[in-house]
Amino acid sequence: MKQAILTMVLIGAAFSLQAQSKELKKGIKKIDRGEYEVAIDFFRKLTSKSGVAGEANFYLGESYRLSNRIPQAEQYYQAAISNGYNEEEVHLYYALSLKNNGKYQEAQSHLERYLSNAQKPELLERSQAEVENLRKLDELMQKKNYYRVRNLTAINTNGAEYSPIYEDGELYFTSNRDGGKIYKGTGTGFTDIYRLKTKGAIVDMSTLENMGDNINRFDVNEGSVTFSPDGKTMVFARGNSGKKRGTVEVNLYISRFRKGEWSEARMLNINKPGAWTSCPAFSANGRTLYFASNRSDDKIENFGGIDLYSATMDRRGRFTNVRNLGPDINTHGDEMFPYISDDGYMYFASSGHAGLGGLDVFVAKRSNGKTTIENLGPPVNTVSDDFGFFLFRADRGFFSSNREGGKGDDDIYTFLNEDPNLRVVNYFLAGETKAHAEDGEYILPNVSVKLFRIEKDEPVQIDEVVTTTDGKFNFRVAEHEHYVLIGEKLGGDVKYFTTRLNYTTVGKSIPQDQLTQLETNVTLDTTLYLDKIIIDKEIIVENIYYDLDRWNIRDDAAVELDKLVDLLFDNAEIRIELSSHTDSIGSNSYNLRLSQRRAESAVNYIVSRGIDRSRLVARGYGETIPIERNTNPDGTDNPEGRQRNRRTEFKVINIDDKGADQFDEDRFFDDDDSGGGG
């Protein structure tokens, strides 16, 4: 009888455990769909059930973490560990929740204990980084700060208000203030984009309005917004519908202001299916779009969690050239809410750089070719999430935070920077596109001018304009940087060489102690010349020298030939003859052979740098085409004339229009120095 009773108990326990396991799987499916609030209800019922309590508490903690309620997750991660759940992830996330609750020493101690037995490389690396961040907190807390912060109480509710953007006397922000249909991810209403009139931080609540049906949808979350400099283009995030499909995915949309209203929004081409793509921000000139995404891409490295990316607008108005901003900005944690200030600095929120809790606000500054990251410190940053930083003047602006003492979930705050030494310098590079003529020079309109910045010896395109009838261009640049300008003539019957120009701002900045105003504008000048492509017109390649009676390419000659390599890459449609000439020392036949070898040696060098041999013809002319006298009229030697006659030239012998679209930007700046002479 006892045996039968025990068997029945065991069978009942097995069925109970099996049923609980099914409930766990249902809850996990809800997490996979982004329905975190629904998942919380599933897991909460299982936290006291024997056999699954540890796992249920872990996934309950995950539901809070993934819905951005990390402080609430602490007790459930702790309960998961107490109930024997020992997967490595729980220890990292438990420590992060401790940090988000200001329990820094406990978080550090727990991570150090975990690291003594850690096995998973990705968790090991992130945990080590978190320990290093926690060790920097004392220094961060002691940082001198001039910010004054206050809650913008007039605008905030017991719901969420975040991502404030100031545009032409109006404040735009995102909020779930109107309630309505409940979003299963958070248990709160769906978010919309709102606007109201404001004078600085003095808002006029009587003008508050929802952006309307062309922008906001009833059962979809709309997120952060950004505007082009002229205020007529809006990019914003939309997603998280709460339906079984498309719940996790978030995409960027674009709308244009036409005939007094915003057009129906359409999806941008830079989104990634299944990915979270949000937090858009235009650069100061509107030709670069920054955004945050958790996308995975075989061609673009991701550094963990959510990273910051950029895309550039081409001359047709399309966003292209998506790139990850790299490890200086992105970390193992999340980087979000970028904002580019007028002085070219990037402000962003991060949970991966050394901070006080959840998301902290940081500023990235470029100086001497390097990027430095600075935490703004308290009172802008707290143990809570602080993000969505925006300046409406050089010393004041808005940001978002869910810190204690607010009116609800996320609140909008305003700040004033009272640093007595705050000085902002805006640098601009202004120029003209011109061409040479026999009697001088002339303005060359309709030229595409691209601006590249050299970062860690790699080119990064940061801007592009097309000059109009005045040939003028104007780029925003930074101090202590190296740039390359690329000019390409568009259209027309006359062909011009695509041309590059190196430009540096190193040594051209104004010393800080000479600045007297809060903001100062500095304009630097340059001219970009594009020359006509004339068939069979000889062009001397300067400073190509050979040792006496030799034809190998010397190092100083290689530097000059590399410029010709660049020109050939920039102008994929041209075929050239490369010729070598000598003076009259030696026999004519010997000089012909020597010059032919020198021309072939130069061609071989150019081919070694990646140019197709079919685009090159080597021709030695010996002493047959002098451009100066080798001897003076009285028969004495003319060394200067001989030097000029010992020259290398090239001329375009064919233009293939089919090659004009073969511009290879990946090879455009290739500085590999592996090639050798012939």
Task: For residues 502-531, give the mean pLDDT.
Answer: 91
Helix, strand, coil fractions of the chain, as percent rounded to 5: 25, 35, 40
Cβ 583 vs Cβ 568: under 8 Å: no
pLDDT digits (tens, 9 = 90+) for 428-480: 999 999 999 888 899 999 999 999 998 877 888 888 899 999 999 999 998 88
pLDDT digits (tens, 9 = 90+) for 408-440: 889 999 999 999 989 989 999 999 999 998 888
- Distance, in Å, from the CA atom of 96 to the CA atom of 629, rounded to the nearest integer, reads 81
Quote the Cα angle for 212-218-224, to 5°.
Answer: 65
C-alpha count within 13 angstroms, C-beta hemisphere, residue 312: 14
- In sequence order, which residues have a C-beta less than 8 Å from that of residue 253 and are 6 or more positions away? 235, 236, 237, 238, 265, 266, 267, 268
- Enumerate the CATH 2.120.10.30 domain ranges in the chain, comma separated: 148-417
Confidence of residue 658 (pLDDT cuts 50, 70, 90): low
- Distance, in Å, from the CA atom of 568 to the CA atom of 576, rounded to the nearest integer, reads 9
pLDDT digits (tens, 9 = 90+) for 639-651: 888 878 888 888 9
Share of the chain above pLDDT 70, in %: 91
Q: Residue for token digits 């070219």? A: 344
**Phi, psi of 40, deg, nearest 5:** -60, -40
Confidence of residue 20 (pLDDT cuts 50, 70, 90): low
Confidence of residue 115 (pLDDT cuts 50, 70, 90): very high
Strand partners, 335: 350
**Is residue 526's pLDDT more than 80?**
yes
pLDDT of residue 72: 92
- Distance, in Å, from the CA atom of 260 to the CA atom of 612, rounded to the nearest integer, reads 54
pLDDT of residue 233: 95
pLDDT of residue 195: 96
pLDDT of residue 545: 66
pLDDT of residue 30: 87
Instruction: For residue 413, give the H/E element and its range.
Output: strand 411-417
Strand partners, 173: 194
Q: Distance from first CA to last CA of the chain, Å, rounded?
A: 98
**Phi, psi of 574, deg, nearest 5:** -100, 150
For residues 237 and 515, which has the higher predicted lDDT (pLDDT)? Answer: 237
Confidence of residue 241 (pLDDT cuts 50, 70, 90): low
Say if domain 148-417 classifies as CATH 2.120.10.30. yes
**Phi, psi of 533, deg, nearest 5:** -90, 110
- Distance, in Å, from the CA atom of 469 to the CA atom of 443, rounded to the nearest integer, reads 8
Distances (CA, A) of 173 to 98, 137, 672: 30, 31, 48
**Cα dihedral sign for 313, 319, 322, 325?**
positive
Neighbours of 540 (CB within 10 A): 13
pLDDT digits (tens, 9 = 90+) for 339-364: 999 888 999 999 999 999 899 999 99
Transcribe 226-270 into DSSP letters.
EE-TTS-EEEEEEE--SSSSSSS-EEEEEEEEETTEEPPPEE-TT
Dihedral of the CA atoms 169, 174, 176, 177 (nearest 10)? -20
pLDDT digits (tens, 9 = 90+) for 150-185: 999 999 999 999 999 999 999 999 999 987 788 888
**Is residue 1's pLDDT more than 60?**
no
Instruction: For residue 619, give the H/E element and its range.
Output: strand 616-622
Lookup: tokens for 227? 């505007």
- Distance, in Å, from the CA atom of 547 to the CA atom of 553, rounded to the nearest integer, reads 9
pLDDT digits (tens, 9 = 90+) for 252-277: 999 999 989 999 999 999 999 889 99
Taking phi over 0 as left and psi of -120 to 50 as alpha, with beta for the rest, 323 belongs to beta
Q: Helix axis angle, 2-32 relative to 53-66, nearest 10°?
A: 10
- Enumerate the CATH 2.60.40.10 domain ranges in the chain, comma separated: 424-529
Lookup: tokens for 232? 């007529």
**Cα dihedral sign for 268, 271, 276, 281?**
negative
Among 405-409, 500-504, 634-638, the range with the most confident prediction by mean pLDDT is: 500-504
- Enumerate the CATH 1.25.40.10 domain ranges in the chain, comma separated: 23-135
- Distance, in Å, from the CA atom of 484 to the CA atom of 500, rounded to the nearest integer, reads 7
Q: What is the mean pLDDT of the chain?
A: 87
C-alpha count within 13 angstroms, C-beta hemisphere, residue 381: 28
- Distance, in Å, from the CA atom of 255 to the CA atom of 264, rounded to the nearest integer, reads 6
pLDDT digits (tens, 9 = 90+) for 588-603: 898 899 889 889 988 9
pLDDT digits (tens, 9 = 90+) for 39-74: 898 888 888 887 788 899 999 999 999 888 999 999
Choices 1.10.1200.10, 1.25.40.10, 3.20.20.70, 3.40.50.410: CATH for 23-135: 1.25.40.10
Transcribe 576-607 into DSSP letters.
EEEEEE--SSS-HHHHHHHHHHHHHHHHHHHH
pLDDT of residue 427: 92
Say if domain 424-529 classifies as CATH 2.10.260.10. no
Cβ 497 vs Cβ 530: under 8 Å: yes
User: Which CATH class, in words, describes the domain spanning 539-668?
Assistant: alpha beta
Task: For residues 107-111, give the mean pLDDT.
Answer: 94
Transcribe 192-230 into DSSP letters.
EEEEEEEETTEE-GGG-EE--TTT--TTSEEEEEEE-TT
Instruction: For residue 179, give the H/E element and its range.
Output: none
- Distance, in Å, from the CA atom of 233 to the CA atom of 469, rounded to the nearest integer, reads 25
Distances (CA, A) of 566 to 482, 610, 661, 665: 18, 10, 16, 11
**Is residue 301's pLDDT more than 80?**
no
Cβ 648 vs Cβ 621: under 8 Å: no
**Phi, psi of 70, deg, nearest 5:** -60, -40
pLDDT digits (tens, 9 = 90+) for 562-575: 889 999 999 999 99
Instruction: For residue 562, give the H/E element and its range.
Output: helix 555-570
Confidence of residue 675 (pLDDT cuts 50, 70, 90): very low
**Peptide bond connecting 626 to the previous residue in cis, omega within 30 degrees of 0:** no
- Enumerate the CATH 3.30.1330.60 domain ranges in the chain, comma separated: 539-668
CA 429 to the chain's CA centroid:
21
Task: Name the pTM for this structure.
Answer: 0.81
**Cα dihedral sign for 400, 367, 357, 222?**
positive
